[in-house]
Structure 1
Amino acid sequence: MAITTLASLATATALSSAIITQNPVALRSAPRDSANQQATLWQGEVVEVRGTRMDYLQVYDYKRERAGYIRADQVRMTKFESAEAPELLSVIRYVHDVSGAETLGIALAAAYIKAAPADEVNGSHGTEVLESIGYFADKLARRASSAATLSKSAATTLSAQLDVAAQYGIKFKSYELANGVQICYDGEAYRQVLAMKATSLQIANAALSLTKPECMDPSLQPIARTQTDMWRLDVLAHVNTTDLPVFLKNRVEMRRAMILSNLAYARSRLQTAPEALKLSGINTAAAALAQQSIRAFASVNKNELPDDDLPLYNDTAILVNANRLAAQPLSVADKHDHNTLALLTSGGQPGETCVSLTDGQHDLKTPLAAKCTYGLVWENSVSINRERNALVVAVQPMQGWREMWVFRKENHGWVLSVLPPAATSPLLGYIEFAGWVPGGKQMLVARESRGEGKYKHNFEVVNLDALNIERQASDPTILGPFQRWQDPVWKNTTLSVR
């Protein structure tokens, strides 16, 4: 969205121009309410004023190439002169938080850019106006994304406002999702803000808008998605959180934590050869990213979170925790002791990892149990109970969704069961091993997920025979087994307790 594009729609005339301030406005053939309606004008559109009659303005609409009359109290007059700039800026600030007035705000911003002197447009006031354009466009996009819930009249008005915004060079992107359509502003005004001398608050607002996860193209392939995440991380690097209000700093750190976690997962996916992981003990690039994501999340001040940000805080915790195993080193000694129960990985079909349970009498060719997956097998999560009748490993089939595979010894041999985070469509969630209860009959599990409009966060005591939940609570301190038998590694590294 270039400034010239905005200005081109507001050419000064011998008299003046008028910005439509209401929705809708009738363009009539005569200066009377009973006259025929020539067209319907919408908030933010600009018409040329050619005269006055009674309480009507005689105007010409260049877009529709039609003349007519509109009521004088339905417009704001302007000649786009520099003397008007301070007043226009004041009105933009007033309209900033008026719901439904986004196109009016965009039109006023366009008028300011044309009216104000060049040094003012390139200065702090110009930066403020550009940020306002981005803010108005963002609000309009959010309203458009929820258009399915609007009445027919409101939907018509919204559609017209999107068309008016497009006349000012505002561009939107739309993405088809399972639960509807996501409309997003392309962020050009915010990009200009980042290129200008802006305040920390303005940069933070611009960066948060440009890096919204819901506005990433869901059809992107993994490499393109990783490149986009790297760009998003670079955008957030412009933000100096020192001078920001704590609640806004929290939002920046949560966004940074999510992006770093995404990159840690993507980097872990590149580690396709199990031998390479065995040799190094850890994927150092993925580990560094995962550790940074955990530190970013840890820097969030939970006591300074507005109520509206609590779901975002929980979603960030789920995502970071689902991918945190990238930062956990591999226990090489346990993996290579082939005289005892062990879990080994090998390649299967292209892209597959096969998991085999072995012991002194059973190797990869004749395993006790085996299963192949296209998911990411976190070998550093393997844990065997003291009785040697159960083993667990974390497997992540997709970003932000981590399952747990449970190998159990039964009378007829070993069986494998897959425990998902929740019985919903995969969105965000993890289930993780939290400890073994002595006796070989129970294990401790932490589970957190969001899907199909529901959020769940539980700590559970699970029966190993049937894998059913015997006891559960939202606070682990309520459960006696968690107080006595929780795994120390889990306790020190998990984000499920926060």
Structure 2
Amino acid sequence: MKTIAIVIGVALAGAAVQAFAANPTVLVVQDGASLRAAARDSSPQQAQLVRGEALEVRAERLDWLQVWDYRRERGGYLRKSQGLLVAGDTTTLLAQLRLTLPQDGGEGLGLALAAAYIQAATPAELAGPAGGEVLDALGRLGERIAANTGPKRAGLLDVAARYGLHFDSYEQGDGGVRVCYDGDAFRRVLSLPAAPSAKARAALAITRADCRPTTLTPAQLQASDDWRAGVLEHAPLDGLDGYERNRLLLRRAGVAASRAFEHRDNALAAQALAEFARVEATELPEDDLADYNDAAMRVNAVRWLALPQPAGRRFGNGFQLALESGVSTAEQCLTLRDAKDHVLLRKCSVAVIPLASATLNREGTALAIAAQPLDGWRELWVLRAAPEGWTVDVLPPAAASPGLGYAEFAGWVPGGQQILVASESRAEGRYASRRFVQMDLATLSAQRQSTEPKALGAFQRWADPGWSGASLALR
């Protein structure tokens, strides 16, 4: 166990492990500290150091330490006030790590202290709760370095690489690039007797959807989500604070929703709804609201899959809806027939089309049905009767490249002239909050809209009871 931990925690260039193990080691505690050619400030600067770098102590002169820098393969002098001698006992090292971890800008020093602890600890300590705490600290520091977008990022990434941490870059849907810590330390935390909060952090860190390639095939995405679900099951909910529990439940709900779409599975859709229902909204920090909204959109997109899906639907006036095979195995065709079995409309798509969501207005002139072409993205199809025949229009969650979101039927206004629609989306890096719209059925243009359904009289009077009781738009 110790050998494995040293490999992940201590990977200084050249003889770094030897530096911790043999001669005394000093850690740089000040960014921009100078490595001087002699023991005076007026001497030439050999190098500018970054907080957290480890140097081997060779001697002392006045208030300076004579040191050797293995990475640069040169010696020099460092002021004593700019260094911290590495303690030889794990108790002191762990105390110093706990003190450094919360400090903004202390990432490099924290990594060095964690590496020193791993070098000094016994196999029993590394395999116990203290070892789990140190690896959790390594992971958290790695995440903070990855999230740093300031001018010090390059230096921090360099220091982290010398301590064995690896980072990957992933292109995002909005065109940006995200740097992610590869999570090796977090993976080990899950197999150690770590605190529940540490296991929760580890599970959340290595199951982030934005830290994986955007080029994954559908089969690879499905395998990735199945793996994510297995990881999240290893993080217990017991022993967590309310906000930590919420974070884990939100991730579980989102992963279950993705798997429900990928597997076309009713039970997984029901699981996603159940996990989301366990979230306590009063225990949500402001920083978690974006994740809460994203999980709600992803889960709401699959809520119709949780219901039994009939092979066909027959309405009171004789209209019939059915799903038939398309040209390819992935394609299916929504077919609308009249009472005489004449085909009125046929639309083919690779989207999931839950017939349970279909609803016909009282006048028999329009029909609304949900269609989900992508994970987390559900559209509303509106079928309408016209003099030239039936037509179908697609209402997406937003007029943007698909991301997360839903557009859903919320009710019919008597008279056959209006439809109520609710939508929410996050696409192209922009979040569009919940919108409740009263639309003209002939043009599908908004007549009235609000962020609150109670502000619209039509929603108060004509909102569909099934929508009101099940939609996460009303969370």
Structure 2 length normalisation: TM-score? Answer: 0.92
Q: Distance in 1 between matches of 2:311 and 2:128?
A: 59
Given the superposition, is the C-alpha separation of residues 13 and 208 from structure 1 closer, same or farther in structure 2, using an over 3 Å criterion? closer
Instruction: Tell me, yes or no, if structure 1 residue 475 matches structure 2 residue 452.
Output: yes
**Alignment-derived partner of residue 345 in structure 1:** 323
Contact conserved, 2:313 with 2:322, CA < 8 A, in 1? no
- Report the identity percentage: 42
**Alignment-derived partner of residue 104 in structure 1:** 109
1:496 aligns to what SS in structure 2?
helix
Q: Of 166, 181, 192, which residue of structure 2 is paired with 1:171?
A: 166
Between stretches 249-258 and 233-242, larger displacement belongs to 233-242
Deviation at 1:115, TM superposition (A): 2.1
Aligned letter for 1:3? A
Q: Distance in 2 between matches of 1:14 and 1:117?
A: 17
1:240 aligns to what SS in structure 2?
coil
Q: Distance in 2 between matches of 1:343 and 1:360?
A: 11
Q: Distance in 1 between matches of 2:316 and 2:128?
A: 69
Deviation at 1:14, TM superposition (A): 6.0
Between stretches 238-247 and 126-135, larger displacement belongs to 238-247
**Alignment-derived partner of residue 20 in structure 1:** 28
Aligned letter for 1:206? A
- Residues 161-310 of structure 1 mapped to structure 2, 5 A cutoff: 161-177=156-172, 178-268=174-264, 286-310=265-289
Q: Of 30, 34, 50, which residue of structure 1 is paired with 2:38?
A: 30
Aligned letter for 1:81? G
Contact conserved, 1:81 with 1:116, CA < 8 A, in 2? no
**Alignment-derived partner of residue 273 in structure 1:** none
Instruction: Tell me, yes or no, if structure 1 residue 485 matches structure 2 residue 462.
Output: yes
1:254 aligns to what SS in structure 2?
helix
Deviation at 1:100, TM superposition (A): 1.9
Aligned letter for 1:403? E
Q: Distance in 1 between matches of 2:202 and 2:30?
A: 28
Aligned letter for 2:318? T
**Alignment-derived partner of residue 358 in structure 2:** 382
Q: Where in structure 1 are there 5+ consecutive unaligned residues?
A: 269-285
Deviation at 1:106, TM superposition (A): 0.8
Q: For this pair of structures, how many residues does the alignment match?
A: 464
Q: Distance in 2 between matches of 1:218 and 1:2?
A: 31
Deviation at 1:15, TM superposition (A): 4.4
Q: Distance in 2 between matches of 1:266 and 1:13?
A: 51
Deviation at 1:486, TM superposition (A): 2.0
Q: Distance in 2 between matches of 1:118 and 1:421?
A: 54
Deviation at 1:307, TM superposition (A): 1.1
Q: Deviations over 1:143-177 (max 9, x none)?
A: 1xxx3xx3xxx1xx311211111111111121122
Instruction: Tell me, yes or no, if structure 1 residue 422 matches structure 2 residue 398.
Output: yes
Structure 1 length normalisation: TM-score? Answer: 0.88
Segments of 4+ moved more than 6 angstroms: none
1:242 aligns to what SS in structure 2?
coil
Q: Of 50, 68, 73, which residue of structure 2 is paired with 1:65?
A: 73
Between stretches 353-362 and 5-14, larger displacement belongs to 5-14
Instruction: Tell me, yes or no, if structure 1 residue 128 matches structure 2 residue 133.
Output: yes
Aligned letter for 2:321? L
Q: Distance in 2 between matches of 1:456 and 1:245?
A: 28
Between stretches 103-112 and 117-126, larger displacement belongs to 117-126
Q: Deviations over 1:190-244 (max 9, x none)?
A: 1111111122222112111121222133222112211221221111112221221
**Alignment-derived partner of residue 430 in structure 2:** 453
Contact conserved, 1:10 with 1:46, CA < 8 A, in 2? no
Cα RMSD (Å) of the superposition? 2.0
Q: Distance in 2 between matches of 1:329 and 1:113?
A: 54
**Alignment-derived partner of residue 60 in structure 2:** 52
Q: Distance in 1 between matches of 2:189 and 2:403?
A: 33
Deviation at 1:260, TM superposition (A): 0.4
Contact conserved, 2:94 with 2:117, CA < 8 A, in 1? yes
**Alignment-derived partner of residue 440 in structure 2:** 463
Q: Distance in 2 between matches of 1:118 and 1:331?
A: 59
